[in-house]
Structure 1
Amino acid sequence: MKTFRFLTLLTLGLLIFGSAGYFGYELFVKPSRMEKRAKSLEAGVPAPTATPDPGLPEFQRLKALQSSGQLVPARDGWNAWIVTNKQSPLLPEALNLLGAANMALMFQSSGNPSTTSYTVVKGDSLAKIAAKHHSNAELIQRANQLPNINLQIGEQLIIPAPKISLEIDRANKTLTLLDNGSFLKAYSLLSSPRPPKTSANVTSKVIDKLATAGSKRVAFGDKSYSQSERVILLAQSPAIVGFKPAPTPPPAAVTPPSTNTPVAVNTGTNDSIASTSPQATSQSTPLPFPSGYVLASEDILEIFPLVSRNTVVVIH
């Protein structure tokens, strides 16, 4: 009888403690071991490598081609590359390079079907030549790097005659130049009016171009023209303006207090006291952007001679 009781108690003890040990193992020991094993496996697996951009080799080749001055094959290559690599992270840089190539070719007689050569004859002026070739006097001067508007008989001129239109994207703050409907160059807007709630596009046009010095309008050919500010007025839309931020002033030097400077003592009265702390030089406040579609000053100088009255402007 005693033996039977002993065996019964032993069996119950084994069941109780065995179950507790099993559940303890499942709850605590096993998960810990599995976690350690998973970490060891992860440590042995190399990190996945990023998929290489399939357009990278051709991108690098075209970039080297453009750097060597071969602009025509570089331009044609960029146009093809952009069509087949629209999802590439290199697309913004490719567009910038294409824009640079296009603008350089704008002022060359070769490789640009919208550019012709002309020989100056008696009675010619930049304005007359521009009207004859549907071009722009300032654009002709720039293309030929003329120091002024005076011409010499027999002088050979490059005459650019692009068919320019503009596209403004208010949401993405970009202004894009198109030549006969094809991409020419894109510019970043520093500021622009808020896009409308509706997604309808607005078709506008250039109604005038202004070069001003202070409140005075400056004519092309005037000595102060090169230093003038440029504004492109649009029909029923804000103007396109340039902006040049003020130069950042150098940090002000802090002068240590003199040993003879009296120490400020708080007497509890309103009497003025001398302070030992150096006076801080106030930093210049950044100038606010003007209203309208704001470009960097160097960008509007590049665009200004390319547009004329009635140039079409599509605003998104």
Structure 2
Amino acid sequence: MQSSNLYVNIAAYKFITFDDTVEKRPQFRALCEELGLKGTILLSPEGINLFLAGLREPIDKFLAFLRSDPRFADIEVKESFSDRQPFTKMLVKLKREIITMKHPLIKPEEGRAPAVDAKTLKRWLDQGHDDNGKPVVMMDTRNAFEVDVGTFENTIDYRIDKFSEFPDVVVKHKDELDGKTVVTFCTGGIRCEKAAIHMQNVGYDSVYQLEGGILKYFEEVGGAHYKGDCFVFDYRTALNPNLEATDTKQCFACRAVVTPREQLSPYYIPGRSCPHCRKEMRETQESQAA
């Protein structure tokens, strides 16, 4: 009988000068295929970002290979588990950035913004202020559809559609956050590496990034001060604070997140359509008729 947590899912990233990505790409691809791993690895001159899943031993062999490169010897990995393979293919891609912000002068390798760990953040949220007495404000750097699945209580959400919109939006709202400590967060921490640096550069005087993102927060302190689940980019769609897959799905047609309640709609046909598709279609027809 197979274990209900047969597959190990790992997420990891590191900002580091990586100028031999073209040479390394076939090595990564060949090893992952040999080990039976699936997922996505992004290789960029600014570093690496990966989401992989496989059995325990192959995952450990991959990590041993990765860490044998001195540049990635200290890479930190977040783990969760699933009863089936959450990815359908294995991709190794070359990218300009491992997370697209379109601000090439922001280089986390040269120095990070201050980070706050999960336990400290929970304590701050419990008491309502940081250790200097400043009110703590949570800022979500993820895309709107991800935020809709779940986020921290009373969080700032600018309803962005892609991360490259974040820099301009956050500049416009800087004055509203004077005198407050802003904690930026995302799924695994990678977006905040750039977001927090940018915020410092444009004049935010007290900004932190949540170390390890939502997934690390779930792992270390559970769901305190968090409402809902955390969107992830694989078949599981969302994880609860116990890092377990939920019943939330994603529509393959329009990519919208479909809640369990929305899945009861006659417009929800797995792999074909959902209520969000229907709404968009109706709005398009109404605008054309006007």
Same topology, TM > 0.5: no
TM class by smaller structure: under 0.3
- Provide TM-score, normalisation by structure 2: 0.20
Higher Cα Rg, which structure = 1
- Provide TM-score, normalisation by structure 1: 0.19
